[in-house]
Amino acid sequence: MTSLKLEFVCKVLQQHKLLNEQQIQTVLQQESDIRAQLKQQAGVDVNTLTAIDVLCAMHLVSAADGQTVLSEELIMRALAAHWKLPFLRIELNKVESCKLASKISAPFARKHAIFPVSMSKNMLFIAVVNPLNVEMLDTLRNVTKMEIRPVISLKSDIFHAIEECYKIQEAEKASQKHFEGFEASVSAASAASKDETAPAVPGGMTSVNADDANDANIVTAVNLMLQYACEQRASEIHLEPRQFQSQIRFRIDGMLYDVKQIPQGIHNNMLMRFKALGGMNISEKRKAQDGRTHFSFHGRDMTLRISTMPMTFGEKVMIRLLDPILLLRHVETLGFSDEQYAQYRALISRANGILLIAGPTGSGKTTTLYSTLDALAERGINVTTLEDPVELPYDRFNQIALQPGVGFDFEQAVKHLVRQSPDVIMIGEVRDKQTADNAIQTALLGHLVFSTLHTYDAASALTRLVKMGAEPFFVESAVIAVIAQQLLRRVCQHCAQPYRPSEQDMAMLQLSSEQTGLLRKGKGCMKCRGTGYLGQTGVFEILEMTDELRSLVHDNIGVSMIRETAAHQGVKLLRDMAMAKMLEGQTTVEEVLRMTAGIATPHSARFKTKITLSDEVERSDDPAELEAVSF
Ligand SMILES: [Zn+2]
């Protein structure tokens, strides 16, 4: 294999007036020392060490101006000009490059530091560092049966592309294999079952017995489905019985995607398996049940919360996949603005009172609560949680599972708890007058109480407490602040592109064209499965109680007045924060509109894998329960 000689590279740089004779002499003298040093550095691949690496390690400055550092890019551009070949920085946000990667095996690409960048008819453009490696170019020509056109690029770009694309490809392949394995197990189980095509009977009567749950195919199918769901970053799996088939859907970044339809018989078998896993009563088909189990995914202990619910055509199963890594995060990474973060830190340092986290289902309230409590527990504070059921078992908290069925309800628990002198108490959710009253009493006894409430914004949470029957006087004296939150899908960093919204969208968000400079949108890539979104970020509205707000609550003044007063006092509302994130390019116009409309709208981007976005995007909230929000 021919490799670029240092002398040759130096000569080219001299022709471009980047090095002078004296510098070249020094470089050549020091070459072996630098190579030896580089070989000892951790993470340096000895086999791919080039003359360019040696030059870069010397931090030389241009002979022309005596100050410009000879970077890898400057050197490669000079070489490209010398060879009369195009120079290219590899932009990995192109789906094509990852698709093209399959044209060349990963070891071959690594060995020669090459990466395919584009294709046109019978021509394959390959990013290379050394176009003089004729042998490599010949091999490529023979293997791909295409004309090979070298383009010069940076070695660092090429290796970054190799790692990114082949890693994604390998993960995608493994994931696809799991999905195919799941499909194969379902087919095998269907073949074994006789009455798979029989339509379901309303009421969900089935003839499945407990033994079927242990059917090896079903066990495999369930395992592979869980594996696949984790790989796709799903937070929920839904198995929904319909009249003739059952639909499996995954919730990913807050949106539901269709995964596969399965026969009713298989649905029932999988249901049995989940009931068995969750320690639930297998023969009980007419009541809703809850269970829990664990699943290990790449060494991570995922908690699965399983719930079943009788529906017209059988029992629906919903599995929540709780990843401790996602549920316990650093508070500063949740999505607060710097200003809000400082304010929030001050609020959670208070000794007593109630802090309410408000938001609809799936708005990230649990993550905010758990992450906050984790931060407090770290400071040596005694944290106790009262939950029904316990969301995620975690040994840094004292967790109490309420069992209203056997008389161990909230009131009972609190009575005993206050004797244990907890500093901070978390109450899963304020649902009714009783929990509201108890939370208030506990706070007034000198504890810091955290809880959640099901409303879209902060102002509504205050009026909701009063509507539940809590005394306005107690509400205004106990509540320190309401933190409302929502989740927005984050633009995929790997395929983000600048973008200009439509006139209509701009008018709806009252945007001027000067404001839209930084807007970005994902084009869709393998990392985001073609959706253009990867992950979610929280947006927050912190409504800290002031005398003015207290008097509004005291006088039972309506929600819009509270909201208006808060905005007047400088409280940044959810919409403001969402707009700020959009203008920074973190999220899209569509996401902001979706959030402000308070309803989920189907998105045109579809999964490039077997998963497609459900036509019917559901919201788990009962709209009647939520206060209307006008922005
Ligand atoms: Zn992407």
CATH code where residue 614 lies: 3.40.50.300
Q: Is residue 90 part of a domain?
A: no
What is the per-residue pLDDT across 579-593, written as a single tens digit (0 to 9) for each? 999 998 899 999 998
Identify whether the C-beta of residue 604 lies closer than 8 Å to the C-beta of residue 588.
no
Same-domain pairing of 395 and 416: yes
Percentages of the chain per state (helix, strand, coil), in multiples of 5: 45, 20, 35
CA 92 – ligand 1 centroid, Å:
10
DSSP per residue, 538-574: EEEEEEE--HHHHHHHHTT--HHHHHHHHHHTTPPPH
What is the per-residue pLDDT across 405-428, written as a single tens digit (0 to 9) for each? 777 777 788 777 777 778 899 998
Spatial distance between the Cα atoms of 222 and 88, rounded to a whole number of angstroms: 46
Q: Is residue 290 part of a domain?
A: yes
CA 535 – ligand 1 centroid, Å:
11
Range with top average pLDDT, 221-235, 513-527, 597-611: 221-235
Same-domain pairing of 475 and 596: yes
CA 532 – ligand 1 centroid, Å:
5
Same-domain pairing of 279 and 366: no
Q: Is residue 175 part of a domain?
A: no
Q: Is residue 438 part of a domain?
A: yes
What is the per-residue pLDDT across 5-35, written as a single tens digit (0 to 9) for each? 999 999 999 999 999 999 999 999 999 888 8
**Residue that terminates a domain, selected from 301, 322, 343:** 322
CA 93 – ligand 1 centroid, Å:
7
Closest listed residue to residue 486, CA positions, set 509, 466, 458? 458
CA 622 – ligand 1 centroid, Å:
33
Task: Report the SS3 class of residue 67.
Answer: coil
| Nearest-5° Cα angle at 48, 45 to 54 | 90
What is the per-residue pLDDT across 339-397, written as a single tens digit (0 to 9) for each? 999 999 999 999 999 999 999 988 999 899 999 999 998 888 889 998 887 888 888 88
Print the SS3 string covering 472-522: HHHHHHHEEEEEEEEEEEEECCCCEEECCCCHHHHHHCCCCCCHHHHCEEE
**Residue that terminates a domain, selected from 289, 307, 322:** 322
CA 338 – ligand 1 centroid, Å:
27
pLDDT of 213 reads 52
CA 593 – ligand 1 centroid, Å:
21
pLDDT of 201 reads 47
CA 114 – ligand 1 centroid, Å:
23
CA 146 – ligand 1 centroid, Å:
29
User: Looking at the chain, how many residues does it have?
Assistant: 631
Which tokens go with 444? 């007034």
Same-domain pairing of 278 and 330: no
CA 608 – ligand 1 centroid, Å:
11
Same-domain pairing of 473 and 578: yes
Spatial distance between the Cα atoms of 242 and 332, rounded to a whole number of angstroms: 43
Q: How many CA atoms lie within 13 A of 53 on its CB side?
A: 22
Q: Is residue 59 part of a domain?
A: yes
CA 530 – ligand 1 centroid, Å:
6
Q: Would residue 355 be called left, alpha or beta, if left means φ above 0 and alpha means ψ between -120 and 50 degrees?
A: beta
Same-domain pairing of 387 and 287: no
Q: Is residue 177 part of a domain?
A: no
Task: Report the SS3 class of residue 387.
Answer: strand
Spatial distance between the Cα atoms of 43 and 392, rounded to a whole number of angstroms: 38
Same-domain pairing of 312 and 333: no
pLDDT interval class at 137 (50, 70, 90):
very high
Q: Is residue 507 part of a domain?
A: yes
* DSSP 8-state class, residue 463: H
**Residue that terminates a domain, selected from 24, 48, 83:** 83
pLDDT of 524 reads 84
Lowest mean pLDDT among 174-183, 228-237, 305-314, 493-502: 493-502
Q: Work out the end-to-end distance of the chain between its first and last CA atoms, rounded to an integer number of angstroms.
A: 66
Same-domain pairing of 223 and 342: no
Spatial distance between the Cα atoms of 238 and 240, rounded to a whole number of angstroms: 6
Continuous segment of H or E residues that includes residue 167: helix 155-192
CA 495 – ligand 1 centroid, Å:
4
CA 592 – ligand 1 centroid, Å:
19
Same-domain pairing of 425 and 452: yes
CA 534 – ligand 1 centroid, Å:
7
Identify whether the C-beta of residue 313 lies closer than 8 Å to the C-beta of residue 200.
yes
Same-domain pairing of 342 and 425: yes
Q: Is residue 180 part of a domain?
A: no
Mean pLDDT of the chain: 85
Identify whether the C-beta of residue 4 lies closer than 8 Å to the C-beta of residue 29.
no
Domain containing residue 148: CATH number: 3.30.300.160
Closest listed residue to residue 10, CA positions, set 1, 517, 198, 19? 19
Domain that holds residue 312: 193-322
Overall domain count for the chain: 4
Spatial distance between the Cα atoms of 432 and 393, rounded to a whole number of angstroms: 25
Same-domain pairing of 424 and 554: yes
Same-domain pairing of 312 and 395: no
Q: At what angle do helices 216-231 and 264-277 cross, to 10 degrees?
A: 80
What is the radius of gyration, based on Cα positions, of the chain? 30
Task: Report the SS3 class of residue 229.
Answer: helix
Judge residue 343's burial from the number of C-beta atoms within 10 Å of its C-beta, 0-12 exposed, 13-18 middle, 19 or more buried.
Answer: middle
Spatial distance between the Cα atoms of 611 and 261, rounded to a whole number of angstroms: 11
pLDDT of 630 reads 30
Spatial distance between the Cα atoms of 352 and 346, rounded to a whole number of angstroms: 12
Domain containing residue 266: CATH number: 3.30.450.90
CA 94 – ligand 1 centroid, Å:
9
